[in-house]
Amino acid sequence: MEKLDISKRINELSDTIRYHNELYYRDAQPEISDFEYDQLLKELQRLETQYPEFAQTDSPTQRIGNDISNKFETVYHKYPMLSLGNTYSREELSDFYRRVQQGLEGQECEFVCELKYDGVSISLTYENGKLTRAVTRGDGTRGDDVTENVKTIKSIPLVLKGDDYPQNFEMRGEIFMTHKTFEKLNNIRQESGDNLFANPRNATAGSIKMQYSSEVAKRYLDCFLYYILGEELPYDNHFDNLKKAKSWGFKIPEDIIKCKNLDDVFDYINYWDTARKNLDYDIDGIVLKVNNYKQQEQLGYTAKTPRWAISYKFKAEQAVTELLSIDYQVGRTGAITPVANLQPVFLAGTTVKRASLHNAEQIALLDLRIGDKVFVEKGGEIIPKVVGIAVREHKNPPTKFIAHCPECGTELIKNEGEAKHFCPNDNGCPPQIKGKIIHFISRKAMNIESLGEESVELFFNKGLIHNAADLYQLKIEDILPLERFAQKSAENIINSIESSKTVPYPRVLYALGLRYVGETVAKILAKAFPNIDLLINASIEELTEVHEIGERIAESVKEYFSQADIIEFVNKLKEAGLQFKVDREEQKSDILKDMSIVISGVFVHHSRDEYKTIIELHGGKNSSSISKNTSFILAGDNMGPSKKEKAQKLGVELKSEEEFLKMLND
């Protein structure tokens, strides 16, 4: 690959992984499987290792996913909640084992094997035998205080048994939902007309962040505890401390075992790869840990993971069933996704009736035909996928991908270098229009809370709205005649729409739904072009001059605003009173004016994202890479040695968190 292509690929991977991090950790609505996510992350790690000069200082490889929301108080972890490195390969697990042996320089080492639960991580603080705080993983440094919600989980003790526990300590574990509870919950939601949860993990993540603990209690969540932290623990090793914690009332898994060698580890993996199918909850692998605490400290940590532990993930489960037919779905961007309708088959705890076929290339690659007996795979995926043909007992013709949109009849297009077919009728195709409106009202966009997908569907079908701008013309009397709407609910919708007029320009720009323009890109564009007219009239050259805006994004922006109906749409939103320029009153000072600042490391007082905002509010510019133009580096703990070396080589100053905050205060 050319160096320019490598840099571009690293940036693309970084943006894609950040997007999926938000979906997984914050929204509990992942779009891809764990395996697919891990492959993206591994590719990024490989490229950054080979070409460190292109690595971003805030690369996803250096960060933990973030589940922090704005509904709860955010608190700092006393001990960081790191992620585990993971592998799907027994060879890589053997490599980990050898690295540990080398790191301990021949010391005898004992390992602990545990199941890897597919739920939501939680950290519980106990003081004098009482639960005082429960905090989500968050970004690893700080998380959401969900204590009141966690108190509704019966398997988590509020008061400990006995009197031999430490005065202050933390217990960590995984909150989960059983298959039986998940099935009951979805049955209730189906009867109520609510959207179904995709899997137990999503249901758990959504439940633990509910606003009212009384509603959380109705979800019957469960919790396994598997890690204890503190200053005065009874034993010097992980295994014995967990066994002791069981006597204090904690639900410690019975499946934890000690292993003397790698053969014992593989025996454990082989057993649970089969036995997991009999469990009433989801596991997606095993966790291997060094047992002795002193040896853990000797092996140490990377910025993101401990060197003394690793997770081994099971390969996805498969089943064989018949391909009955293929539907074609149209997404918000016009992308066409083929979906297989299957003879129902039980797989990984749920009955599967539909599976993704991804795109025309995948169908052709597998040579899928109606009537085939196919392999269906599910390894944490939201929609299972067809991965191959098991048996063909017919002479049906090859599948021919559709040439026209199934919704509006427009001829499909396929851009060079892309796998998906698209319907180009973005302003006349009903699913695209409705998808754009749903995106427009979403929490991270205009945040019109009282208006949901079902209401958008109803308003569109009744002809009340034809695009998002029409929302601002709605009146209470338009809504009241519709079924299910009373005076109060109609008022709430109108009030929410009115409140959205105060949403700042970067989020309005994101809400428009330009292709390739996510939250981060919208902020960058809004800063570079502080009002919408400047952005509309910007040339490709002006757009690509903006840091982190490549040709693909520039062309998408230019093409979007070249359409007359889009300009008319934006003008209607302007007339409605939406914010289409940067509010300069937000600027705190210009103390960092003309400064290019790189953020690196882990911080105590604010997260890295918060520091990025602080830098912008004081007139500075955030940069992702160190160069001779870098004004200084805001350096936290665990800053990478290669970055320090580069800074020293270029003579770039390092400012500590305290020095930086003092600089702003002065």
Q: Rounded distance, CA 393 to CA 331, Å?
A: 34
* Cα torsion angle, 273, 384, 205, 221, sign: negative
Rounded to the nearest 10 degrees, the angle between the axes of helix 453-461 and helix 430-441 is 140
Last residue in a domain, options 280, 313, 346: 313
Angle at 316 between CA 311 and CA 317, to 5 degrees: 130
* Helix, strand, coil percent content, the chain, rounded in steps of 5: 40, 20, 40
Q: Is 391 helix (H, G, I), strand (E, B) or coil?
A: strand
Q: Rounded distance, CA 400 to CA 473, Å?
A: 44
Could you tell me if residue 588 is inside a domain?
A: no
In this structure, are residues 387 and 375 in contact, taking their beta carbons and an 8 Å threshold?
Answer: yes
Could you tell me if residue 591 is inside a domain?
A: no
Task: List Cα–Cα distances, 430 to 35, 205, 332, 391, 511, in angstroms.
Answer: 33, 32, 10, 38, 18
Could you tell me if residue 70 is inside a domain?
A: no
Residue type, 348: A
Same domain, yes or no, for 35 and 116? no
Domain of residue 209, CATH code: 3.30.470.30
Closest CA to 90 of 270, 350, 325, 348: 270
Q: Rounded distance, CA 545 to CA 511, Å?
A: 24
In this structure, are residues 567 and 561 in contact, taking their beta carbons and an 8 Å threshold?
Answer: yes
The pLDDT assigned to 202 comes to: 84
Give the domain extent around 41.
Answer: 3-62
Domain of residue 396, CATH code: 2.40.50.140
In this structure, are residues 423 and 429 in contact, taking their beta carbons and an 8 Å threshold?
Answer: yes
In this structure, are residues 272 and 107 in contact, taking their beta carbons and an 8 Å threshold?
Answer: no
Rounded to the nearest 10 degrees, the angle between the axes of helix 200-208 and helix 179-192 is 70
Same domain, yes or no, for 214 and 96? yes
Q: For residue 121, list its beta bridge partners.
A: 174
The pLDDT assigned to 22 comes to: 61
Please, is 562 exposed, middle or buried when counting C-beta atoms within 10 Å of its C-beta (0-12, 13-18, 19+)? exposed
Last residue in a domain, options 385, 419, 453: 419
Same domain, yes or no, for 409 and 453? no
Global pTM value: 0.54
Q: Rounded distance, CA 602 to CA 608, Å?
A: 8
The pLDDT assigned to 636 comes to: 85
Task: List Cα–Cα distances, 541 to 128, 546, 554, in angstroms.
Answer: 64, 9, 8
Domain of residue 629, CATH code: 3.40.50.10190
Same domain, yes or no, for 103 and 221? yes
Could you tell me if residue 261 is inside a domain?
A: yes
Q: Which residues lie below 8 Å from residue 427, measured CB to CB, with a gap of 6+?
A: 433, 467, 563, 565, 566
Same domain, yes or no, for 367 and 496? no
Q: For residue 174, list its beta bridge partners.
A: 121, 224
A 10 A CB-CB count for 29 gives: 14
Q: Is 529 helix (H, G, I), strand (E, B) or coil?
A: coil
End-to-end CA distance of the chain: 48
Task: List Cα–Cα distances, 163 to 134, 249, 478, 619, in angstroms.
Answer: 22, 12, 65, 56
The pLDDT assigned to 575 comes to: 96
Block means of pLDDT (10 residues each) for the chain, 666 residues, are: 74 78 58 70 83 74 53 84 85 93 91 94 95 90 90 92 93 94 84 70 87 84 95 94 95 94 94 90 93 94 86 87 95 90 84 89 92 83 80 93 96 85 91 93 88 89 94 95 89 94 94 88 88 92 83 90 94 96 70 87 77 83 80 84 82 91 85
Same domain, yes or no, for 149 and 184? yes
Q: Output DSSP code: residue 186.
A: H
Residue type, 204: T
Radius of gyration for the alpha carbons in the chain, expressed in angstroms and rounded: 27
Last residue in a domain, options 576, 610, 632: 576
Q: 469: which 2 tokens?
A: 């701008």
The pLDDT assigned to 302 comes to: 81
What's the domain count of the chain?
Answer: 5
Q: For residue 327, list its beta bridge partners.
A: 339
Same domain, yes or no, for 85 and 205? yes
In this structure, are residues 326 and 132 in contact, taking their beta carbons and an 8 Å threshold?
Answer: no
Give the side-chain half-sphere CA count within 13 A for 656. 5
Residues serving a catalytic function are 116
The pLDDT assigned to 215 comes to: 84
Could you tell me if residue 140 is inside a domain?
A: yes
Same domain, yes or no, for 571 and 646? no
Q: Is 442 helix (H, G, I), strand (E, B) or coil?
A: coil
Q: 366: which 2 tokens?
A: 């597998």
Q: How many residues does the chain have?
A: 666
Could you tell me if residue 590 is inside a domain?
A: no
Q: Output DSSP code: residue 585.
A: G
Domain of residue 484, CATH code: 1.10.150.20
Same domain, yes or no, for 529 and 654? no
What are the backbone dihedrals phi and psi of residue 271, each rounded to the nearest 5 degrees, phi first?
Answer: -65, -50
Closest CA to 120 of 237, 191, 224: 224
Same domain, yes or no, for 183 and 102? yes
Q: Rounded distance, CA 666 to CA 663, Å?
A: 5
Could you tell me if residue 337 is inside a domain?
A: yes
Q: Which residues lie below 8 Å from residue 608, measured CB to CB, with a gap of 6+?
A: 58, 63, 599, 636
Could you tell me if residue 542 is inside a domain?
A: yes
Same domain, yes or no, for 146 and 267? yes
Q: Rounded distance, CA 271 to CA 588, Å?
A: 60
Same domain, yes or no, for 398 and 533? no
Domain of residue 18, CATH code: 1.10.287.610
